[in-house]
A and B are shown apart, each in its own frame.
Chain A
């Protein structure tokens, strides 16, 4: 066994989460054979696009040793402001321009976090708690608080672009939108930055030890600034996709989701102290949260139990490896 699998395989969060997912799917399939179908799969994939992009962003912040709770406010701000702007200026703009505007707005808001955190050296949680409120309040006060269901035509068009669609043998409809490609793109880009660039390695380094990073000449401020701008840009992307797929620009949506997102990331093995986190783990964490949010009813648990279940999963999923580590440390002492 030990020859085939990397050391510590069985005690990793990733393994644990994957096992829970598999068990969940087995139980779900046993209680409802229709669960195991292309329809369920595409439903779940669709549901994980926005959560997945936000989770990858949140993971990056955790790796750098910070925590960001403002990204949902950034996402909804970028989405709504972009929609309002597009409708007012040029409703016929192609979808990729609309997306670019939303990403740009997100990056600017992220830069505000970055200035406070990297520039003034303030604690990340305090700053983002503050900007969460400020961004959202600013949006509702100055940009608008009306739901907009008459979206620019290109945004509606985007949500109808499908990678694959069809009908299963059981007669159920399934479809996977092109928006899913955005998640794939974000995953690949973020993986590349984290593992193939010096910038990415510096993010791990400052998460491991800020003082050491400074001493060997890593530009800590610039690295942190990049992290928050990148996270803002990803939030802008997630926001506009959320609006397009929901066919509505709702300024009250998304905010409140930040803890589920951080939960997914922590379930996947990222540590709040910084320096640790994998994309595989984060995606598995997202898959588990999405599964619980969408399919709990299939295994016979009422959907009102959703948050209890997610809470228990977090306690188990992060508590178990932590407990194992503690026992290993006690044995070594």
Chain B
């Protein structure tokens, strides 16, 4: 450990950051060498975001020293950090959706050159050369808003490279990617490492990037709790260090013998999305639906809840068909849907936690045309306790909650309506490891109470931990059905990819 600091690209010593009385980082030592990939793991609130902010010059440390390229820097600001080659790729990529790929890639570089005039030819040439450097082909003139998520991420990487990044910090790089996209990202990271560019992954979902990493740092409550070569860690040990406890995931208990069929989907088809999908869901059963991005899993999930109108087929709940393509009909039939993207599809972020839960129950608390606000709110707060939402105040905006707690609020809203079938699209996307296990507990509890649950996910451990059966979709068709307790994660990965 002592020798590693020589020639380090970034070397932080004893870095501490306090916000008022809260210690976000507590005497952390941290080094990254050129051409090295490093994992910085930690749950939400562990101090990893603070560490990125200090490295990128957004925040100043309370104590400790930071050296970049062997020079100690006392007054880092975003411009100085960027000039020293430290680039952060935020989770939202910070791109300009209305501008072309070429301009997005070249913008910061051209800004850094203090140009007055904009040179489109230079922007295109620069963008082309960087795209070639990482070996991807994206149309230079395409508007960024029209690109899939994985390509947006590549554009953000290219932008960092265009301004001669020596260290690229990637915040939650894999949460929005499918397994295949993660593979191609890793291939690019390997290429960058060969060129001497260092990469720092900051995430709570790191198992899948471990293979390209040399080193792992784990933060918990602002302190470094583990450090070592990546080969010493696996998914389980990372989780243990991050949470400070073992989180064993018990597989679901078997569906009660003879429980009746709740949901019956027959020959559901939608041109260009899914084709002739049939399945049945029993009361108390958790059914997984998996497949790569574009396999039709999300369209199918939306079709069950009426957000996508199928061209043909029927959906029956308790033997009764209900109108397709109509979310209100689906909801009143007893189907609930928690979308993948809570932020834009599921929650009213600026509204209070209690209101977010209560909004699904407005009609149930109507008294002679007026709203019984007291009953409505006490029901909402009751659900907060039942789902163990850590909320300082039910009147605080949902935005102020962590990802795991936001997901619980979204769940609580549906549960308060007592649904028969709950469709969960990516139930633990953007949620930290501890909360994830809790959400899986909730899913298993729901099933035990007789609700039919459909989990749409490409997170294999999640599917195995929650599902009795897993349907695999490919190009809009169900191509495989797997019993949850009969496969290991590797086998499942293989059957998904084949």
Which of A's residues lie within 8 Å of B, judged by CB? 195-201, 204-205, 207-209, 211-213, 215-218, 274-276, 330-331, 333
Q: Is there contact, CB below 8 Å, between A209 and B95?
A: yes
Q: Is there contact, CB below 8 Å, between B272 and A331?
A: yes
Contact A198 B299, CB 8 Å, known A208-B97, A216-B107, A217-B82: no
Q: Which residues of A contact B78 (CB under 8 A)?
A: 215, 217
For residue A65, which residue of chain B has the nearest CB? B98
Determine if B117 is an interface residue (Cβ-Cβ < 8 Å).
Answer: yes
Query: What separation, in Å, do the CA atoms of A199 and B118 have in the docked complex?
Result: 8
Stretch at the interface among B108-116, B193-201, B259-267, B369-377: B108-116
Query: What separation, in Å, do the CA atoms of A90 and B405 have in the docked complex?
Result: 71
Q: Is there contact, CB below 8 Å, between B111 and A198?
A: yes
Interface residues of B in 197-213 (CB under 8 A from A): none
Contact A208 B111, CB 8 Å, known A195-B118, A196-B117, A217-B82: no
17 A-B residue pairs with CB within 8 Å: A197-B116, A197-B117, A197-B118, A199-B116, A204-B98, A205-B99, A207-B98, A209-B95, A211-B92, A215-B90, A216-B159, A217-B111, A218-B111, A274-B98, A275-B98, A333-B299, A333-B302
Q: Which residues of B contact A198 (CB under 8 A)?
A: 110-111, 115-118
Which of A212, A218, A330: most chain B Cβ within 10 A?
A212
Q: Is there contact, CB below 8 Å, between B97 and A217?
A: no
Q: Is there contact, CB below 8 Å, between B103 and A201?
A: yes
Determine if B277 is an interface residue (Cβ-Cβ < 8 Å).
Answer: no
Which of B's residues lie within 8 Å of A, judged by CB? 78-79, 82, 90, 92, 94-99, 103, 107-108, 110-112, 115-118, 159, 272-273, 298-299, 302, 307-308
Q: Which residues of B contact A276 (CB under 8 A)?
A: 98
- List 12 additional A-B contacts (Cβ < 8 Å) besides A197-B116, A205-B107, A333-B298: A198-B117, A200-B118, A201-B99, A204-B98, A205-B99, A208-B98, A211-B92, A216-B159, A217-B108, A217-B112, A331-B272, A333-B308
The 8 closest A-B pairs by CB, nearest first: A275-B98, A208-B96, A212-B94, A208-B98, A216-B108, A215-B94, A201-B118, A205-B96
Q: Shortest distance in angstroms between A128's beta carbon and chain B's nearest beta carbon?
A: 22
Q: Which of A212, A217, A330 contacts B95 (CB 8 A)?
A: A212
Q: Which residues of A contact B97 (CB under 8 A)?
A: 208-209, 275
Query: What separation, in Å, do the CA atoms of A247 and B360 have in the docked complex?
Result: 63
Q: Shortest distance in angstroms between B279's beta carbon and chain A's nearest beta carbon?
A: 21
Which of A195, A276, A331, A333: most chain B Cβ within 10 A?
A333
Q: Is there contact, CB below 8 Å, between B116 and A209?
A: no
For chains A and B in complex, what number of residue pairs have CB atoms within 8 angstroms?
68
Q: Which residues of A contact B272 (CB under 8 A)?
A: 331
Q: Is there contact, CB below 8 Å, between A211 and B98?
A: no
For residue B115, which residue of chain A has the nearest CB? A198
Q: Shortest distance in angstroms between A279's beta carbon and chain B's nearest beta carbon?
A: 16
Query: What separation, in Å, do the CA atoms of A195 and B121 have in the docked complex?
Result: 12
Q: Which residues of B contact A275 (CB under 8 A)?
A: 96-99
For residue A63, which residue of chain B has the nearest CB? B98
Q: Which residues of A contact B302 (CB under 8 A)?
A: 333
Query: What separation, in Å, do the CA atoms of A180 and B111 have in the docked complex?
Result: 36
Q: Is there contact, CB below 8 Å, between B82 and A204?
A: no
Q: Which residues of B contact A195 (CB under 8 A)?
A: 118
Q: Which residues of B contact A213 (CB under 8 A)?
A: 96
Q: Which residues of B contact A201 (CB under 8 A)?
A: 99, 103, 107, 118
Q: Which residues of A contact B111 (CB under 8 A)?
A: 198, 216-218
For residue A211, which residue of chain B has the nearest CB? B94
Q: Is there contact, CB below 8 Å, between B117 and A204?
A: no
Query: What separation, in Å, do the CA atoms of A197 and B114 have in the docked complex?
Result: 11
Which of A195, A275, A330: most chain B Cβ within 10 A?
A275
Query: What separation, in Å, do the CA atoms of A207 and B98 have in the docked complex?
Result: 8
Q: Which residues of B contact A215 (CB under 8 A)?
A: 78, 90, 94
Q: Shortest distance in angstroms between B119's beta carbon and chain A's nearest beta carbon?
A: 9
Q: Is there contact, CB below 8 Å, between A217 and B118?
A: no
Q: Shortest distance in angstroms between B326's beta carbon and chain A's nearest beta carbon?
A: 14
For residue B156, which residue of chain A has the nearest CB? A212
Contact A216 B99, CB 8 Å, known A198-B118, A200-B118: no
Q: Which residues of A contact B90 (CB under 8 A)?
A: 215
Q: Which residues of B contact A207 (CB under 8 A)?
A: 98
For residue A330, which residue of chain B has the nearest CB? B308
Q: Shortest distance in angstroms between A88's beta carbon and chain B's nearest beta carbon?
A: 40
Q: Shortest distance in angstroms between B81's beta carbon and chain A's nearest beta carbon?
A: 11
Query: What separation, in Å, do the CA atoms of A304 and B90 have in the docked complex?
Result: 54
Query: What separation, in Å, do the CA atoms of A213 and B104 have in the docked complex?
Result: 11
Q: Shortest distance in angstroms between B74's beta carbon and chain A's nearest beta carbon?
A: 21
Q: Which of A196, A330, A333 contacts B118 (CB 8 A)?
A: A196
Contact A208 B118, CB 8 Å, known A198-B111, A216-B111, A217-B111: no
Query: What separation, in Å, do the CA atoms of A86 and B164 have in the docked complex?
Result: 56
Query: What separation, in Å, do the CA atoms of A218 and B115 have in the docked complex?
Result: 12
Q: Shortest distance in angstroms between A261's beta carbon and chain B's nearest beta carbon?
A: 22
Q: Which residues of A contact B308 (CB under 8 A)?
A: 330, 333
Q: Which residues of A contact B116 (CB under 8 A)?
A: 197-199
Query: What separation, in Å, do the CA atoms of A26 and B298 have in the docked complex?
Result: 49
Which of A200, A205, A216, A218: most chain B Cβ within 10 A?
A216
Query: What separation, in Å, do the CA atoms of A198 and B96 have in the docked complex?
Result: 15
Q: Which of B96, B115, B273 contacts A204 (CB 8 A)?
A: B96
Query: What separation, in Å, do the CA atoms of A109 and B473 have in the docked complex?
Result: 61
Q: Is there contact, CB below 8 Å, between A209 and B94?
A: yes
Q: Which residues of A contact B108 (CB under 8 A)?
A: 216-217
Query: What separation, in Å, do the CA atoms of A266 and B352 have in the docked complex?
Result: 35
Q: Is there contact, CB below 8 Å, between A209 and B118?
A: no
Q: Is there contact, CB below 8 Å, between B118 and A204?
A: no
Q: Which residues of A contact B95 (CB under 8 A)?
A: 209, 212
Q: Shortest distance in angstroms between A202's beta carbon and chain B's nearest beta carbon?
A: 8
Q: Which residues of B contact A212 (CB under 8 A)?
A: 94-96
For residue A193, which residue of chain B has the nearest CB? B118
Q: Which residues of A contact B96 (CB under 8 A)?
A: 204-205, 208-209, 212-213, 275
Query: What separation, in Å, do the CA atoms of A164 and B410 have in the docked complex?
Result: 68
Query: What separation, in Å, do the CA atoms of A333 and B90 have in the docked complex?
Result: 25
Q: Which residues of A contact B82 (CB under 8 A)?
A: 217
Q: Shortest distance in angstroms between B93's beta carbon and chain A's nearest beta carbon?
A: 8
Q: Which residues of A contact B307 (CB under 8 A)?
A: 333
Q: Which residues of A contact B117 (CB under 8 A)?
A: 196-198
Q: Which residues of B contact A205 (CB under 8 A)?
A: 96, 99, 107
Contact A208 B94, CB 8 Å, known A198-B110, A201-B118, A217-B111: no
Query: What separation, in Å, do the CA atoms of A209 and B98 have in the docked complex?
Result: 9
Query: What separation, in Å, do the CA atoms of A201 and B110 have in the docked complex?
Result: 11
Q: Which residues of A contact B99 (CB under 8 A)?
A: 201, 204-205, 208, 275
Query: What separation, in Å, do the CA atoms of A35 and B211 have in the docked complex?
Result: 74
Query: What separation, in Å, do the CA atoms of A331 and B79 have in the docked complex?
Result: 42
Query: What separation, in Å, do the CA atoms of A330 and B308 have in the docked complex?
Result: 8
